[in-house]
Chains A and B, each alone.
Chain A
Amino acid sequence: MADARYRPGDRVRVRKAAPLGHVRTPFYIRGYTGVVERVCGAFPNPEELAQQRDGLPAQPLYRVRFRQKDVWPGYRGNPADVLELEVFQHWLESS
């Protein structure tokens, strides 16, 4: 299992990449910055599992909290509204 590099409260940016294949990082969040809400544990990498491989070492999975107004231009609603997603460590970089 890969070591968890981030802790709750850390600012992280989702990599802006577009690899082919089965990826569980939605397009709409790539390139955006949020804050780690919690560490969910470590799970086999779904991108590897989809290729019939074992997905190991398991990748730390984080719940990352984004502000809606940062993600959607012209977001209507409370500026405190948030969007929380699960992002694997190899999709994150420090911000």
Chain B
Amino acid sequence: MKDLGAYRPLDYFQLMEVSLRELLVEKGVVTEDAIAAAMATMRARGPERGAAMAARAWLDPAYKARMLANGSQAAEELGFEVPGLRLIVVENTPQAHNVIVCTLCSCYPRMLLGLPPEWYKSRPYRSRVVREPRKVLAEFGTRIPAKMQIRVHDSNADMRYMVLPMRPAGTSGWSAERLAALVTRDCLIGVAVPKIPKTPKTRKS
């Protein structure tokens, strides 16, 4: 039998959301269909756009320079519309690793990366990554050498952030599509670094 869950009344914020949405629909500002369509688009969006930008930056130093100077323009250059987004791209180098957080809520470049993962919005991530970034990154399986600098970026106001990871060794000659496939959401947040998937060894018969 389908699990219908236990009945729970709406909490304050849920009630506010429903009330506001119904008012907007009643007043003809938006339609239920338009809201459903916008939600479906938002849910369907993944990190592909951000990954495409990173791959392009790896292949084209001039594009990378433009991207580091103005992230939003660099997104638009690849045909990604990002109305209102003020994107700052921070570059990982052999000397410095970057990681993004929003300690106040869950600010995130959704237009480029899709919806943020649950852990990004969680209090443990938000409160810990600013004060013990190395420990938190290690929990994600990302060990940053002690001699490397870590830069934690709190997107606490009007800017949004994306990490440009380092291009992994062994990828020379790769196409933009193949490179982009290495760039995961977590790489663009800075809790992971791109890895070349291990090809299964062919067994000698």
**B residues 114-144 in Cβ contact with A at 8 Å:** 130-134
Which residues in A have their C-beta under 8 angstroms from that of B146? 77-78
Interchain CA distance A81-B154 in the complex, whole Å: 14
- Which of under 10, 10 to 19, 20 to 34, or 35 or more describes the interface residues of B? 20 to 34
Task: Give the distance in Å from the alpha carbon of A81 to the alpha carbon of B148 in the complex.
Answer: 8
Interface footprint category on A: 20 to 34
Residue A63 interfacial (CB < 8 Å): yes
Q: From the candidates A41, A75, A85, name the one contacting B131 in the complex (CB within 8 A).
A: A75
Tell me the bound Cα distance from A75 to B132 in angstroms: 8
CB contacts under 8 Å to B, within A4-48, are 24-26, 28, 40-41, 43, 46
Considering the complex, which residues of chain A in the window 79-94 have a beta carbon less than 8 Å from any beta carbon of chain B?
80-88
CB pair A46–B149 under 8 Å, yes or no, is no
Interchain Cβ contacts within 8 Å, total number? 72
Contacts of A87 in B (CB 8 A): 157
Kindly supply a per-residue 1/0 record for chain B positions 11-55, scoring 1 wherever the CB is within 8 Å of any chain A CB and 0 otherwise.
Answer: 000000000000000000000000000000000000000000000
Q: Which residue of B is nearest A77, CB measured?
A: B134
Query: Do A82 and B158 form a contact, CB below 8 Å, given A28-B130, A72-B131, A76-B134?
Result: no
Q: Does B110 contact A (CB under 8 A)?
A: no
Instruction: Specify the chain A residue showing the minimal Cβ separation from B90.
Output: A84
Q: Are B158 and A43 in touch, CB under 8 angstroms?
A: yes
Given contacts A40-B86, A84-B152, whether A78 and B147 have CB atoms under 8 Å apart is yes
Per the bound structure, the CA–CA distance linking A80 and B150 in Å amounts to 8
Residue positions of A touching B, CB distance < 8 A = 24-26, 28, 40-41, 43, 46, 61, 63, 68, 71-72, 75-78, 80-88
